[in-house]
Amino acid sequence: MTHDLVLLSRAADFAARQHVAQRRKGEAAEPYVNHLTEVAALLAEATGGDDVVLLMGGLLHDTLEDTDATWEDLTQRFGPEVATLVAEVTDDKSLRKEERKRLQIEKTASKSRRARLLKIADKTSNLRSLVRSPPSGWTQERLRDYVVWAEAVVRSCRGLNATLEAGFDAAHEEARQRFGA
């Protein structure tokens, strides 16, 4: 059996290469990989780092949505558990943005425990980014809407992990105060 640290290193390497040309939307245009390592670190801290599938999912969670990687690629490289987890947190890009956002609020509660933990970490990282470096083209209203929406998604995942939720709540409070949501 391959050692967990080998698997995790491979996932980090693959994620960094898949997202190599991408930047975050904020003014600082941080490398996209910073978001992925932040999500994985939040998950590792909150769970004691004992679930390598979850941490690999954290690193790879945007590969299906935002890169040319396929479910088959992920299955072949990292196994079906990781591929399925990533698929669970991937929006259907054939749908309109508003519909995708509505579905996240509606469907996240019925997803696996790992998928819900990942959603909380993802939204925490996104709210932190919004505060640190808001996208220059976003109006105050759009920023506010995002903060309200992120909380609505996380509300459907609560009761799983107090550490992760406390981290989200702190990021949400800061974003709420900053943008008046």
Closest approach, Cβ 58 to Zn ion, in A, equals 9
Closest approach, Cβ 102 to Zn ion, in A, equals 18
Residue of 4, 30, 51, 66 with catalytic role:
66
Which positions ≥6 away from 127 have C-beta within 8 Å?
147, 150, 168, 171, 172, 174, 175
Query: Which is closer to Zn ion, CB of 142 or CB of 180?
Result: 142
Query: Which is closer to Zn ion, CB of 104 or CB of 180?
Result: 104
In the bound state, the residue with its beta carbon closest to Zn ion is: 122
Query: Which is closer to Zn ion, CB of 47 or CB of 125?
Result: 125
Return the closest-CA partner of residue 124 out of 160, 167, 90, 153: 167
Are 136 and 27 in contact by the 8 Å Cβ rule? The answer is yes
Among left, alpha and beta (phi > 0; psi -120 to 50; other), residue 180 is left
Residue of 30, 65, 91, 145 with catalytic role:
65
Q: Does 122 qualify as catalytic in the annotation? A: no
Closest approach, Cβ 61 to Zn ion, in A, equals 6
Query: Which is closer to Zn ion, CB of 8 or CB of 24?
Result: 24
Q: Does 62 qualify as catalytic in the annotation? A: no
Which positions ≥6 away from 50 have C-beta within 8 Å?
none
Are 125 and 16 in contact by the 8 Å Cβ rule? The answer is no
The binding site for Zn ion (CB under 5 A) comprises 62, 122
Closest approach, Cβ 62 to Zn ion, in A, equals 5
DSSP-based three-state secondary structure for 141: helix
What positions carry a catalytic annotation? 65-66
